[in-house]
Copies of this chain bind each other. A is one copy, B any other.
Amino acid sequence: MPQKVSVGIVGASGYGGVQLVRLLLEHPHIDITFLGAHQNNGVRFDELYPQFGHRVSLVCEEPDPDTIAERCSLVFLGTPNGVAIGLAPALLKKGCQVLDLSADYRFSDLETYRRWYGGERTDHEVARTAVYGLPELYRERLRAARLVGCPGCYPTASLLAVAPLLKQGLIDPRSVIIDAKSGVSGAGRTLNVGSLFAEADGTVAAYKVARHRHTPEIEQICSELAGTPIHIQFTPHLVPMVRGMLVTLYAQLRDPGLVSEDLLTIFEAFYRQCPAVHILPSGVYPQTKWANGTNICYIGLEVDPRTERVVVLAAIDNLMKGQSAQAIQVMNITQGWPEMTGLPQMGFYP
């Protein structure tokens, strides 16, 4: 048995943080040695989440790089966009491995980041070393990564749905339309009127149509897969459920003779070495709640011979495969452990 790795979690009080704490407490090779939370600095973790009182006695601390580096060899940053820029360079310099869950290190072109997220970047050299943390596409590069920009929920589900199609040249890349449906926890524990139960329950709506910040991130990877720069139509919706995300992806097939079973075979082959992706049988489409509490992405699809389009359906838990569990999957890869170590593969149902 390998010696345990000392891990820190910055941004521990948010929903991303609490998933990391929950998962890493049961990870066989990990010791949590630092919990950082700027606003809840000094607060016991089980005051924020009393349900963990029988298992956690950690206290949130001010996320100071020196303290963190002293205690941790690997750090998860679950902080708001823009915060990692100020933390990651110092942590890396002090020898920590950094897995960032924000948008800060997801872009190969920092000009794109600036355009969609604002702010000036002074960390170009560090940013250049970052690897995009989607294991199914970048597993090899991740093995040696010291800095990882872990994708969020929308890009994860969207890219897993479209990757085999783009990589194999099966679709017209300009025809891709992604209609995404997300649970409300995607908005985090932040207070805003739209996230109130009374507002969000019993209703569905689109938001940020044609201007959601995950669009350029999806486009960056899609362009890489397609070998040519492309624009994606991406529309996020909020649905009245806590967790879960469904992506419904539409694309025009290049070869109208393909049937659903052909594409399922191609998807199966594409993800054969990927324990976090499960391709469903023909005619079965995923329920988002199948994925809840797991690191699994469920994918189903259908070819419509009348319109010569393929419709791909990909479901994940937005806080797990779409965020924290995937970051742990990345950690497992960088440490040389089996990819799904410490990650649930079966949810509870119903």
CB distance from A315 to the nearest CB of B (A): 8
Q: Which segment of A68-76, A119-127, A161-169, A187-195 sits at the interface?
A: A187-195
Contact residues in B for A248 (Cβ distance below 8 Å): 179, 206, 235, 237
Can you list, as one digit per residue, whether each of A335-350 has a CB less than 8 Å from chain B (1) or not (0)?
0000000000111111
The residue in chain B whose Cβ has the minimal distance to the Cβ of A347 is B51
Mark A208-233 against chain B: 1 for CB-CB distance below 8 A, else 0. Answer: 01100000000000000000000111
**What number of copies of this chain does the assembly contain?**
4
Interface-centre pick from A233, A250, A309, A349 (highest chain B CB count, 10 A): A349
Which residues of A from 256 to 312 have beta carbons under 8 Å from B? 278, 280-281, 284-293, 296, 298, 302-307, 309, 311
Give the residue of B177, B210, B290 whose beta carbon is less than 8 angstroms from that of A303: B210
The answer to whether A307 touches B197, judged by C-beta atoms less than 8 angstroms apart, is: no
Given A233-B250, A278-B53, also A25-B196 (CB < 8 A): no
Give, as a whole number of angstroms, the nearest-CB distance from A257 to chain B.
16
> Interface residue count for A (Cβ, 8 Å)?
87
Choice from B183, B298, B348 contacting A293 with Cβ under 8 Å: B348
Residues of B within 8 A of A206 (CB): 246, 248, 285, 311, 313
Closest B-chain residue to A176, C-beta based?
B307
Question: In the docked arrangement, what's the CA distance between A235 and B246, Å?
Answer: 13
Query: Is A55 an interface residue, CB under 8 A from the partner?
Result: yes
Q: Roughly how many angstroms separate A289 CA and B203 CA in the complex, as a whole number?
A: 5
Question: Which of A14-22, A83-91, A134-142 is near enough to bind chain B?
Answer: A14-22
Tell me which of B19, B25, B198 contacts A15 (CB under 8 A).
Answer: B198
User: Once bound together, how far apart are the Cα atoms of A51 and B239, in whole Å?
Assistant: 19
| Interfacial chain B residues near A246, Cβ < 8 Å | 204-206, 237
A18 to B350, CA, bound (A): 9
Selected contact of A196 from candidates B195, B210, B302, B348, CB within 8 Å: B195
Q: List 12 A-B contacts (CB under 8 A).
A: A15-B350, A18-B349, A19-B348, A26-B346, A51-B290, A184-B196, A189-B199, A197-B199, A197-B201, A197-B242, A204-B288, A231-B307
